[in-house]
Structures are given as structure tokens and as C-alpha cells.
Structure 1
């Protein structure tokens, strides 16, 4: 079986993880989270989502170090729980993240050219696919540049908004416990990028050392950034105005008396989401590759380009499906749909990690964290908005039925 080249170190892996997370949370998710959870409820939901993500990250890092190959939980589920669990995880990841790709592409279009959002979205998908087809080293380099630009824009927002923060605005009527759980499920969408390191496991140097370091580091940095921006957006805009905002960070700059800088923030948002889309397409392509290797998807998708060492057919197939979704779909429910399927994916991750037993070399209570992660994933999934939850579980069920009833191929 052809193998991908190992080219990524700790720094590259952290950058890819950050590039996958920054953007979706900061520029997209805070508004619906505020609508669901109210003032301080958003911060509680963010902490809960971060804790569940940390549990998942711990389980993912343990499993990725044990099985350093492309595919993430699709591989872990197959190896630890059986082919059915592996397929469910892989199917959930591919379907959910394909929806995420479409949502991110449409977001780029909405920020850059609202009147031609779909056209811009298609162009964005074509562009990031072209970069990914040049090789994972090109992906890491491009993502590093995007992360630097995004951090500069977020710093601008934080500095301009900090002077106008009023903690009293956070003390608005909070949401219910269900609202906080709903917001946490939506905010979890912003953390899911840390697993991109695991799905690129076959291309990481010294995975036993690199992955356990890179995953929690990327997650911790993203959480710190999210908490800072959440306090600033809530403290400047208040929960009600934030809930109705289409571009919260641009509104923060405007409310701070610098409306001329709003275009900088909008451009930064487009850059950030492009970074998410770049690494997201790469991650879905690698999981598609892993499933094709085991004939859970067409075997032709398992081909690796002889020069660039990337799963070129898998990435082209993913790009084609995303373009169709962009042309036909809507961004409104994409985040909720993606969150449902990805939370199921991580539930399989934690269940797989439980079979590893205790790890005497780790100070963390890894088994307890796996249990908490499994329970947290399921709790957040069933508290997402009802249409998204029903659609997500329906697609997962259809995939499971197809896997059960399909003819066995040897």
C-alpha cells in the first residue's frame, strides 16, 4: 500500500490545527451562541465546549500516537471497536465536514461579495484544492501565512474594542440550561479543527511525540483566543445586539468609533475562513483516502499522486461534492448539521480510547476524560437545534443502513 510522506513537525501541526479552528468560531458562531445562551451563558457554553474538546483531544492524541496513519477516528474505530464503528465515524466525518466546507466557502462569499456569494464560494473551493494538490508542505506553509494574518486582525479587534468593554452588558438575562447546552454544541464547531492533526497523522514526523504535543497546544491557544474575543464582543455589543449581528467583530470596531477599519476586519474574516477551508478540505480528503483503502468508499479514491504525495483523487472528489453543496445548499443549518455528525465522530473516538486502558506514563486521568468526552459529545449532540439534529442523525442512519446492507466485496 502506498504511504504518504512524513513532512510535518510540531510547529507545522500546531499551525494546521490553529488554521482549522480560527475563523469558524470567531467570525461565525458567537452570534447564534449568544441567541441561545444569553450573556454569561455564552462564556459558560464556551468553557463547556472547550472541556469536551479537551477530552476529545486527549483521546485523539493517544489514539493517533498508537495508529499514526491517515483517517483519524475512522481508523481508530475499526482497530479498537470493529469495522462498523469505524465506518460510522468515517461517514460522520466526511458528511459533516463536507457540510462545513460548504458553509465556510459560502461565508467567504458573503464577506467578500454578498451579491455573488456562490460564485466566490466556488472560486474559493477551487483555489484551496489547487493548493492542497501541490502537497501537504504547501498546505502547512499557506496555513501559516493565513494564521499570522488572522491573528493580526483579531489583535486589532481586541485592542480597539477593549476600551469600550462593559462587563455590565454581560449581566443580561441568561439562557436556560438547554440554551447553554445548545450554544456549547454550536461553539464546539469552532474547536473541531484540532483533529486535523490526527487526520494528517501519516504525514507527521515522529507521531508518538509530535501529535500529543501539537493537539492540546493548538486547542489551548484557540480557547484563549476565543475567550478573549467572546468577552470583548459581549462587553461591547451586549448579548442582544451580538445575537442579531451578521459580522460581530466588524460591529465591535464600528461601535468602538472606528468604522473605517470594518473593511479590514471583513477582509480578515475572509482570510480566516479560507484558512479553515484549506485545512478542512485536506482533512476530509485524508479520511476519504483511508475509507477507500478499506473499500468503504470506491477504491479508485485511494490513489496517491506520484510527485506530490497527496490523495489527489480523493481531494478532487471532495471538492466536487462541496461545489455542488455550495450551488444548491444553504449556510443556515450547515453548522448545526456538521456539529451533530462530528460530535458522533468524537463519541466513537472516546469509546475507542477507553479500550486502550490506563496510561501510566501520563499524569492526566485519561480514562475519566474519555468517559467525560463520550458523555459530553452525546449530550451536546441531542441538544442542538431540532432540525439540525434530525437531519444529522437521519444521514448517519442512512449511511449505517447502506454499510449493513451493501454486498460484501473481497
Structure 2
């Protein structure tokens, strides 16, 4: 067992390793449990067609755990700032130069703000509970105003980000806890565990289409289990801390989600969640509080959920805008994205671009549906992040067998296989779960456009394929083993 380093160990990138296990786990969990569970329970019920929807959260947890073990090995052995960007750069530089990290940043420019746009959609849905007569045009204007307000706050510079994050964490925990406790006080097992005919017909294609849709929603709810890995250069003893923080956060959120899902189904009839005119289809947490503790309590919790939604968009865009900045500064993305605001020192182009995409994603979600938006952002993630990272773990084991790996994936390659199957199921069924929306085709088109952008960028920068590949094995091999006692004695 390696000794824990002192709390302020400088790294080569100028960062200081201050974040321990508790903080890393809290960072992951705060990103995992934002507005997501409050808006996806009805979507999960619709995907499965009944209260058996809890299967979706369990399946999402299994995929998150399998994928999380990949993140754990890569993060422990390559503990730098940037997460996937670092892993793909190190694994694929031997054959394709900077193509894979470039494409990761390119796709992140789409899927990160799309994730944030789901928070804006959730904000507007729950605001509709407090203002039921709000028109579609007014709700669209409010959603766009929320995006503009977030960008404006971040544009002016915020000096107390840690305090804002802490407030978000407390409000989110309070919201979830109140809904779970309220549901427990009025729980009806007959509602929660009475399933429709054919609910578990595993030979039916309908079941598996619903399962794929539920798995997509489930993994969307767990997204964030890898947040600490993006801060690898600031994690104390990353070889131990990162794997544990990932596993603990997934297990903790799984328990919260199951209590929330089953508790909700034990209070609100699941068929109400399928009625677009019923408040349970858009603001299910508010419906639970209204059924149990009355309208006043429902209004209070709805306000807490609105704060959670706003804060999740705020912190998400704050962190997301740094992704293209870090890459451009490292000469792996377009140079303008390395520009900082002269006074407030934030990435100007990254924040502006992601703000615009968040606004567009919000309008897509409002004028199609939230499930379509989730399908789109997950399909964009699958190829360049999820599947490429599974391959990266195996490539690095083969290319750099001597790389220091303080954590090695349990039961390798089984977690990689489970993650591969799960992501392929999500991708393969995406079009069937969003008929007429073509999320697979859109994701492939975005990837193809990214390849064209890479060729233009690489030609300008004179790097592969228009220049030599630059191989930089930045992370050290494993330290030599201690000498045997007998050898020491004879020396």
C-alpha cells in the first residue's frame, strides 16, 4: 500500500494535490445528482411502460461501474488534468498523432453543453408547476434567459466558485432527501410493485427497445462519476483516491436513485406520468410532495429544485468551457480557444461557444422532447469518448506494459466487455428510441465534420498527417521493485 503524499504536493503542471477521497467523491456525486433524477423518472417509466422502470437505474449503475473501472485504471496511471483528453492523447499518438484528442474536444464542444441544456429544460418544466398558465413562448424565453444569465455571470468572473458549489450540493441533497422522506411516509407497495401484463417478457423486442431507452436514461443520470478524473493533477494519491471515489460515488448515487424511483412510484400512479397534461409527467417530485405533504411543501421543494437546476448549469458551463481552452493551450485544438479574458481570466471562446450550443440544445429539447435530447448527447459521446476509451485502456496495456499502474482494473477484460456491450446497445437502439430524429446519423455527421476540421487544423499547424507524429510518453513507468532481502544481505 502506497503512503499518502502530503496535502500540498506540486505537480509538473503547476497544480497542487489537495483533493482527498471525501472531496473527490463529493465532487463526483454533486455532478451526478443535479436536475437529472427529477426529470427522468417519467421518461424511464415511459421507456419501460410501467413501474419495472427501476431496471433502468440498475442497468445504468452496472454500465457506470464497468465504465468507471476503465476510468479508474486510466486515471490512476495517467493522473493529469483533462481526463479523456489525456488518455486518448497518450494511447493513440503512436498511429494517429493528435486526431483522437482533437476529436474528443470537438465532440465535447457538443455533448457538454447538451447536458447543460437538459438542466435548462428541467428548470422550465418545474417552473411550469409554479406558473401553470405559462405559454410555450414565455417558457422558451425564460429558458434562453437562464442560459444568458449563466453566461453573463461567468463572463464577469466569479470569485467564490467553491461556495456556490457547496450551496448547490446542500440544496440538491435537501431536495432529494425531502422527496424520499415524503414518499416513505405515504408509500403504497401496491402502486410501486404492481406490474402490467408482459412487463418482463424478455423474448419480446419491445422489452429490449424499452431496455435500451431506459439504459440510455440511466447512464445519463449517472454521468459525472468521472468528474474527479478530469482533476487528476489535483488529486492526492490518485492511484488509490480516484478508483475509490468513482466506485463510492456510483454506489451512493445508485442507492439514492433507487429510493427516489421506488418511493415516487409508491406515491404517484405511474400511468399519470405518461399523460403529458398531468403535472406528474413534467414535475414528478412536485407531484409527490403535493400528494403527501400538500401544495405548500410542494412549492418549497420546487423552488429548491429550480436552484439545483440553475446551479448545475452554472457549474457545468464553468468546467466545460475549460476543455477547449486546455486543449488549445496544449496545441491540440484551434488557437483562438486558448484566449483568456484580459481582466477576468476565463476562456472567452469556450464559454461563448458552449453558451450558444446550450441555448440551441434547450430549444431542441423543448420542441422535440427531453428523451430525444438525451439520446442525442449520449450518441455523440459514445464513439470518441466511451468506445475510444475502452480501446485506449487495452492499447496502453499493450504499448506501455511498464507504465506505473497503482490500480489495475478488476477482472480485466470483463469490465471492458460489459462497458462495450452497454454502450453499443445504447448506440444501436438510439434511432429506434427516437424515431424520425436520427441521433445516430447526426452523431456520425458531427464526427465526420470533426475529421474535416482536424485536417484543416493539422495542415495549418503542420502536424500529422501533414507533419511528423510527436510521441510524448509523459507519464513514468513503474518504479523498480525493491531488492530481495537476500540480495541486500550479500551486497
TM-score normalized with structure 2 length? 0.74
In structure 2, what is the Cα distance between the partners aligned to 1:304 and 1:198?
A: 24
Match of 1:103 among 118, 122, 125: 118
Select between 125-134 and 365-374 the one with higher mean Cα deviation. 125-134
Deviations 1:217-239 (A, max 9, x none): 22222111111111011222233
Give the corresponding residue for 2:305: 269
Q: Which of 416, 421, 424 is 1:375 aligned to?
A: 421
SS at match of 1:71: coil
- The 8 Å contact of residues 72 and 287 in structure 1, kept in 2 or not, is answered as no
Q: Residue 84 in 1 paired to residue 77 in 2? A: no
* Residue equivalent to 1:37: 48
The question of 1:316 aligning with 2:327 is answered no
**Which is worse superposed, 350-359 or 74-83?**
350-359
Residues 165 and 20 of structure 1: CA distance in aligned 2, closer, same or farther (over 3 Å): same
Residue 83 of structure 2 is aligned with which of 72, 75, 85? 72
Q: Which SS does the other structure have where 1:81 is aligned?
A: helix
Separation in 2, partners of 1:305, 1:69 = 25
Contact 1:122 1:326 in 2 (8 A): no
Matched, 1:288 2:321: no
Tell me, in whole angstroms, the C-alpha distance in 2 between the residues paired with 1:232 and 1:20: 22
Taking a change above 3 Å as real, the CA distance of residues 274 and 201 of structure 1, as seen in their structure-2 partners, is farther
Following the alignment from structure 1 to structure 2, what is the Cα–Cα distance between the partners of residues 281 and 123?
15
Query: In structure 1, which of residues 161, 165, 172 is the aligned counterpart of residue 195 of structure 2?
Result: 172
- In the other structure, the counterpart of 2:470 is none
Contact persistence 1:2–1:304 (CA under 8 A): no
2:388 alignment counterpart:
348
Cα distance, 1:294 vs structure 2: 4.4
Determine the structure 1 residue equivalent to 2:239.
208
Give the match for residue 300 of structure 1: 336
SS in 1 for 2:429: coil
Going from structure 1 to structure 2, the CA distance change for 1:329 and 1:25 (only over 3 Å counts) comes to: closer
Which residue pairs with 1:398 in the alignment?
A: 449
- Whole-angstrom CA distance in 1 between matches of 2:195 and 2:155: 45
Q: Which ranges of structure 2 fall in alignment gaps of 5 or more residues?
A: 1-11, 200-205, 276-280, 463-491
Q: Report if the CA contact (8 A) 1:25-1:187 is conserved.
A: no
**What SS does the aligned partner of 2:413 have?**
helix
Across the two proteins, how many residue pairs are aligned to each other? 408
Note the aligned Cα RMSD (angstroms): 3.1
| Kept in 2: contact 1:198–1:211 (CA 8 A) | yes
Query: Structure 2: how far apart are the matches of 1:283 and 1:210?
Result: 21
Q: Deviations over 1:78-110 (max 9, x none)?
A: 211343333333333321111122221233244
Distance 1:199 1:43, change over 3 A: same
Asked if 1 retains the 8 angstrom alpha-carbon contact of 2:72 and 2:409, the reply is no
Q: Deviations over 1:24-82 (max 9, x none)?
A: 43111111111011335311121111111111111112212222333321221121134
C-alpha deviation, 1:132, in angstroms: 9.0
Greater per-residue helix proportion: 1
- 1:196-275 to 2 correspondences below 5 Å: 196-244=227-275, 245-256=281-292, 258-275=294-311
Deviations 1:369-401 (A, max 9, x none): 122112211212222323233333332333234
State the alpha-carbon separation in 1 of the partners of residues 353 and 23 from structure 2.
23
Q: Distance in 1 between matches of 2:420 and 2:361?
A: 32
Contact 1:181 1:380 in 2 (8 A): yes
Q: C-alpha distance in 2, partners of 1:38/1:327?
A: 26
Residue 113 of structure 2 contacts residue 361 of structure 2 at CA under 8 Å; is this kept in 1?
A: no
| Contact kept in structure 2, 1:65 and 1:209, CA below 8 Å | yes
Question: What is the CA deviation profile of residues 222-261 of structure 1, one whole-angstrom value per residue up to 9, with x for unaligned ones?
Answer: 1111111110112222332233311111111222252221
* Cα drift, residue 203 of structure 1: 4.0
- Distance in 1 between the 2:255 and 2:156 partners? 32
Q: Which residue of 1 aligns with 2:64?
A: 53
